[in-house]
A = this chain, B = another copy of it.
Amino acid sequence: MYKNETSIGLQIHDLARELFPINRSLTGNGVRETLSILKRENRELNIFKIKSGKRFYDWRVPKEWNVKHAFLRDHLGNVLIDFRKNNLHLMGYSKSFKGSLSLSTLKKNLYSLPNLPEAIPYTTSYYEDNWGLCLRHIDLLSMPDGMYEVDIETELKSGFLNYGELYLKGASRKEILFSTYICHPSMANNELSGPVVLTYLAKALKNRGGLKFSYRFIFIPETIGSIIYIKQNLKKLKRNVIAAYNITCIGDERSFSFLPSRYGNSLSDMVALHALKFSTPGFKKYTWSDRGSDERQFCSPGVDLPMASVMRTKYGEYPEYHTSLDDLEKVVTPEGLQGGYDLLNKIVDIHEFNCTPKARFKCEPHMSKRGLYPSISSLQSKSQVSNVMNILTWADGRNTLLDISNRIQQPIWTLFPIYKELCDNGLLVGKD
């Protein structure tokens, strides 16, 4: 089980509350504002900007989008929708539109959810010329026939796409990559939880120090951001990344979820599954067919990075997903965030603990002589073969400590101190 202390969970939740109202999208002022707040938390964060129109693989960087205002008014001038109240009211990348429309015409550009009548849905139209307003279905039902005034003023112009990258150098150039995204407006689990939890994970790793591996955190717009990032960094990533995690929907209190890398047999998969299995009871396993976030790019043919996804309730699998109900009250909580944070720390632990132990003696060492084994052999002491002996028996240089943990079904964090003691006693030598 993850730790129940919520002190860090509360801090993470506070940061999420600060970031929540900002209007994020693929591009725009909201993204820059978000990144600058994240940089305030970790000065090591580098912020990059990419010009609109530039090509990356099959894609072009979209124009930069900013919103002036968006209103829907009835024929009496009553404001029915105001973007300032909730930025989900406006379709992402909506163009400007001003006009008077009958209800039936207007409806072609209104989005609501009959099955979730209290929720404002989240819609986007990044690469298609379009406008749209989103509202609660109960509000739509209360709108009488007649004429309505739409007043959307947005700016779609050549500008920049921004993303952030934070690199913590460890003893080895080999690195663990954490990726999350910063392109969602006011929704909490998907996706403020990823950026805020990773921000605090980065803080923790700085404090921890003495890291064996390097750690890289990227805060990118989903899809186009990962495509840009991969195109810019592929050679370096392929050389250094030994494990990669897509972090999303990591702040609710429901059970944990796991989605494997493409072939499901990478170190990332093994580490994440170990952490989940031994610290979160009853987590849910998805398959590559259920993918839907940036692992699609990182694991694509030719890129082939070993990215697994670690989540609490997976995107698309909880009722509040992609609506205004995905909030910081009922869905994402300090305790939920703390749980996600603790799990990621376990994942880091596993990477840092892992190594390849090798026995320095043939046959079992004389444990009792070394004070490592009860010296009176009676029924009790012989009735179990201890973790100590299990580490030694598998320390043939063909098994990592993680392999051994899985073989004997013990968490690596239980075995690591024993491994250290056996090294100190000269019985084992470890190869990283």
Contacts and interface: CB of A to CB of B under 8 A. Distances in A.
A393 interface: yes
Interface of A: 57-60, 111, 113, 121, 123-128, 130, 223, 226-227, 230-231, 234, 262, 288-292, 296-297, 299-304, 316, 321-322, 358-359, 361-366, 368-369, 375-379, 382-383, 385, 389-390, 392-397, 408, 427
Nearest to A128: B375
Contact of A359 (B60, B128, B130, B302): B302
B408 A58 contact: no
Contact of A363 (B303, B369, B394): B303
Nearest to A56: B363
Given A124-B377, A379-B113, A382-B292, A364 B300 contact: yes
A121 B359 CA distance: 34
Nearest to A395: B301
Instruction: For the complex of A and B, list the 10 residue pairs with the smallest distance between their C-beta atoms, beginning with the closest.
Output: A301-B396, A128-B375, A302-B362, A58-B365, A301-B359, A297-B363, A227-B363, A58-B366, A58-B361, A59-B366
Contacts of A111: 378
A292 B378 CA distance: 13
A397 B301 CA distance: 8
Q: How many copies does the complex hold?
A: 3
21 contacts: A59-B366, A111-B378, A123-B378, A124-B376, A124-B377, A125-B375, A125-B377, A128-B375, A223-B364, A226-B363, A227-B363, A230-B362, A230-B363, A231-B362, A289-B390, A289-B408, A290-B385, A300-B362, A301-B359, A301-B394, A302-B359
